[in-house]
Amino acid sequence: MSRTLSVVRMQFVNRQTFIWIPLIILGGAFVVTLLIWSMIPYGGAKYSGGAQAPLWYFVAIGVMALSYTFPFSQAMSITRRQFFFGTLLTAAIGSAGLAVIFVVGGLIEKATAGWGMGGYFFYLDWVWEGGPLAAGAAYFILALLLFVTGMWSATLYKRFGVTAVVGAWVIVALLLVGVVWLIGRLNAWAQVFGWLVAQGAFGLALWALVPLVLFSGISYLTLRRAVP
């Protein structure tokens, strides 16, 4: 366990990747959104998708967390298992921190009627319908899933090269297209949208645990034979 925590400390040595850049992206998107809202004469509620910007950056963090520190960890005689779980714990800490920021921001927006201008950057009704804890859990799981997706891509690259990464994503895209084709073939779009609405943001986040566990397992198995 101490070696696993050493990996966490090693990952957080690069605070720019895990802390400052996500905060800069989030802060920049928030300020730009406020400026745009201030120029809109519409008096009703205004919503923005800019809050997702730092979430997508977690894919890049997943790539960098493995690519930058994995060779160094092997020189320190850290096992691949310790590195994997330490890196995953680091991602969980970062995801939890981002989720807390989103929840606090949403509570402030709700209390101030959208910063006094009806603007909602953090507080989205369909995400918050289960309350702040459910919203925080949804943001946490989504950020962690995106991180694991990036780490999965990086492990494939380390083990098999860029061709394997491109091929894997092509397969994922084909599977998604196949699902869309099947839904259309069965004329089941109404049932699918009804199911999505019934699940809500928190329910969909729980379903996201399936690909999260899948990508994590594949990453771990691939990392065991990856070349630093």
150, two tokens: 């990036």
Intra-chain end-to-end CA distance of the chain, in Å? 22
Total Cβ atoms within 10 A of residue 199: 13
Question: Which pairs from 37-46 meet CB under 8 Å and 24+ separation?
Answer: 37/115, 37/117, 37/118, 37/119, 38/117, 43/118, 44/118, 45/114, 45/118, 45/119, 45/120, 46/114, 46/117, 46/118, 46/119, 46/120
User: Among residues 198, 201, 193, which one has the least CA distance to residue 126?
Assistant: 201
Q: What is the pLDDT along the chain (228 residues), one digit of tens a residue?
A: 677 888 888 888 888 888 899 999 999 999 999 999 888 887 788 888 888 889 999 999 999 888 888 888 877 778 888 999 999 999 999 999 999 999 999 999 999 999 988 899 999 888 898 899 999 999 999 999 999 999 999 999 888 888 999 999 999 999 999 999 999 999 999 999 898 888 888 898 999 999 999 999 999 888 888 776
Place of tokens 């990036």: 150
* Interval 43-98: pLDDT, tens: 788 888 888 889 999 999 999 888 888 888 877 778 888 999 999 999 999 999 99
